[in-house]
Structure 1
Amino acid sequence: MALLPNPSLSLRPEQLGSPDLSAERATPAASHRRRDFVFVVNPKGANGRTGKEWKKLLPYLRTRLADHCNVCESFTSGPSHAIDITREAIREGAEAVIAVGGDGTLHEVVNGFFWDGNPLVSHEKGSTTALGLIPLGTGSDFARTFGWKNDPYDAIDRIAKGNKSKIDVGAIEGPTGDKHFFVNVADIHLSAKAGYYASQYKKFGNLCYVIGALKAFRGHENHDMEIKVDGGEWESVTKVTAMCIGNAKYFGGGMKITPTADPTNGHLELVVLQNFKWYDFLIKLHRLYGGTHLSVKGVSSRSVKSIEVKERVRRGDIYVQSDGEHWGFLSTKFSILPGAIDFFC
């Protein structure tokens, strides 16, 4: 894979199999050459488990993909590095970029598919880059929406089969107009604050979500907000505990928070929790994880294509996150980009 001179990136191609070079030279059509699959690995994910498991996967990966592609292995070195790797891979004509890790790595790779708020285009005219996922992180909530087991070998088999479908991507923007993207769930207020704290305790695995929730409840107050759905009139929503905007169904380590969301239907699901107390979560937690909470008092749901959210009284401390990553604070607009990315499924 031809690389731009950027010392921060570390793509390492591994030629799989032994192609007949003489036959390749004799083929005039460039489309017959083997294209690159770029595997973006977060080696520190899940307290280092991702890097260790990735090494174990390589022999099977070579066996399954030997006839398909060149593998380009790239390890991230810190926050946002996966975004840079993905953008360079797409510009250089990679056939696929595969996120290897948890939802955080997938989130960065998805953002790498965009530049300046628009889909990124390959230097190779007419070529498109597909997205893949090998779940090897603390959380694998996006994979749950498809009913997949948290099994990296199954993921490799899906990629090897080559079946793809177009999935939607959510866009999020603040007052400056700069866009950020999410593929799973974005959320506001209590759940976003809990996610912010949970990110500080990932060394405890899925227990980090419990710790984050406990910390978020300390001093929490429900707040009145205003929303504008699909460009309509502003509506008042009182005593908001949390708002969740789902492109997919799960967040927080398996909570089915937006149970009717579908990343292929061109819509987002908005779920609003109003006037919840701390004990409500204890009593109704099983319904939140089971996705049966939409009939609970204080819970509402609707399908939207865009939604703007702001505080009725400006405080500036209402947390917003997307795909479990802290984004910022209200006011914020969310919208959907239908069929934005080809995804191995």
Structure 2
Amino acid sequence: MNNIVFIVNEHAGNGRGKKIWMKWKEAITFPYTFVLTERSGHATEIARGYATSSKDELLIIAVGGDGTVHEIIVGVTGYNHVRVGVISAGSGNDFGRTFSVFKTTEQLNKYVHSNYESVKMDLALLTIGHDSYPVVNNAGFGFDAKVAYSVNHSTWKKRLNTVGLGKLTYIIYLIKELFTFKRFSFTLHTEDKMVTYDDVWFIVVCNQPYFGGGMKISPLSKPNDQLIEMTVVYKLARWKLLFIFSTVFFGKHTKYKEVIQFQAKNYTISMHDKVYGHVDGEFSCITEENHSYIFTVISKAWNLAKHIEKGV
């Protein structure tokens, strides 16, 4: 295969991206180009630049975490001649729990030198007024978004990362928000009815099962079935929320009556409170009262490089 580009985020996973790239590049047995990302959003610019500059078949390989993968997929969406491969190098790596990723240099070399495959994947889209936010893994509003925002803007995260304990930051803010988070209400609009939910902890819309570093929030989600799943957690005592979070890693939370799930091609929700939102773990907005937030599916939006060892 000609035209192979690695987009490398050396800072992913608190420097794990650089370590992995230094190791992998020594074992690569084919010609390639590589580019290092320099800032947030840079991977999208790089990927789109390569996608638009050539009509020849192109393989772009991400070396980084879920954020880097998200940016690259956004950059190449709609370009049918581009495949995206992934070498997971972040801290959470939820993408690699569902999608086919390259786990060894042997897998990658074999893929490039042999009869390589790709599979078309869906992309979800969150539309807020005139703004649109592509969603690779999941997006939502509420408790989890507030925790993610607090963690990403915390000086504690940087301090704890230096000693390899960055995940403790998530636990600290999860417990804090457990006692301080103000629950909210929203109205879900479907083709045949409207339903209002009160006392809501969070809403999450998923294109694949995992979020938050391995929590199987949406067990039925498949990234290429032209459907997206919504999970709502509501009317739940604070102590019970913490208990349910412990069951999410195994996908067992769905048995509780306070957890409801839907499956559809699109959702429209009206928020009745100001709530933090996220897209693939990154801050998206603070909702406005009585504004509409629309989730839709873009079918077969991008091509995933798939090696034979894993199905999706």
TM-score by length of 1: 0.78
Aligned position for 2:59 = 96
The CA deviation at 1:35 is: 2.7
The CA deviation at 1:307 is: 1.0
- Aligned partner (choices 5, 25, 29) of residue 58 of structure 1: 25
Shift in alpha-carbon separation, 1:79–1:222, aligned structure 2, 3 A: same
Aligned position for 2:98 = 145
The CA deviation at 1:295 is: 1.2
* Counterpart-to-counterpart distance in 2, 1:135 and 1:195: 20
* Counterpart-to-counterpart distance in 1, 2:238 and 2:100: 30
Question: Structure 1 residue runs of 4+, over 6 Å off?
Answer: none
Aligned position for 2:309 = none
Q: What is the CA deviation profile of residues 146-188 of structure 1, one whole-angstrom value per residue up to 9, with x for unaligned ones?
A: 486x93547635753522111111111112x221211111121
1:85-124 correspondence to structure 2 within 5 Å: 85-93=46-54, 95-114=58-77, 119=78, 121=79
The answer to whether the 8 Å contact 2:123/2:207 transfers is yes
The answer to whether the 8 Å contact 2:100/2:305 transfers is no
- Aligned partner (choices 16, 39, 42) of residue 81 of structure 1: 42
The CA deviation at 1:304 is: 1.3
> Structure 1, unaligned stretches of length 5 or more?
1-33, 122-126
The RMSD of aligned alpha carbons is 2.2
Shift in alpha-carbon separation, 1:226–1:147, aligned structure 2, 3 A: same
Aligned position for 2:122 = 168
* Counterpart-to-counterpart distance in 2, 1:164 and 1:39: 17
- Aligned partner (choices 3, 15, 23) of residue 48 of structure 1: 15
* Counterpart-to-counterpart distance in 2, 1:221 and 1:233: 27
Indicate the larger mover: 93-102 or 333-342: 93-102
Amino acid in structure 1 at the alignment position of 2:126 = I
The CA deviation at 1:296 is: 0.8
* Counterpart-to-counterpart distance in 2, 1:42 and 1:339: 26
* Counterpart-to-counterpart distance in 1, 2:187 and 2:110: 43
The CA deviation at 1:206 is: 3.2
Percent pairwise identity:
27
Amino acid in structure 2 at the alignment position of 1:156 = L
Secondary structure of 1:59's counterpart equals: coil
Amino acid in structure 2 at the alignment position of 1:214 = I
Structure with more relative contact order (C-alpha pairs < 8 Å, separation 6 or more): 2
* Counterpart-to-counterpart distance in 2, 1:43 and 1:211: 27
1:1-345 correspondence to structure 2 within 5 Å: 35-60=2-27, 62-63=28-29, 66=30, 70-93=31-54, 95-114=58-77, 119=78, 121=79, 128-146=81-99, 151-153=103-105, 156=108, 159-160=111-112, 162-175=116-129, 177-200=130-153, 201=157, 203=161, 204-229=165-190, 231-312=191-272, 315=273, 317-330=274-287, 331-345=292-306
Shift in alpha-carbon separation, 1:173–1:280, aligned structure 2, 3 A: same
- Count of matched residue positions in the alignment of Structure 1 and Structure 2: 290
> Structure 2, unaligned stretches of length 5 or more?
307-312
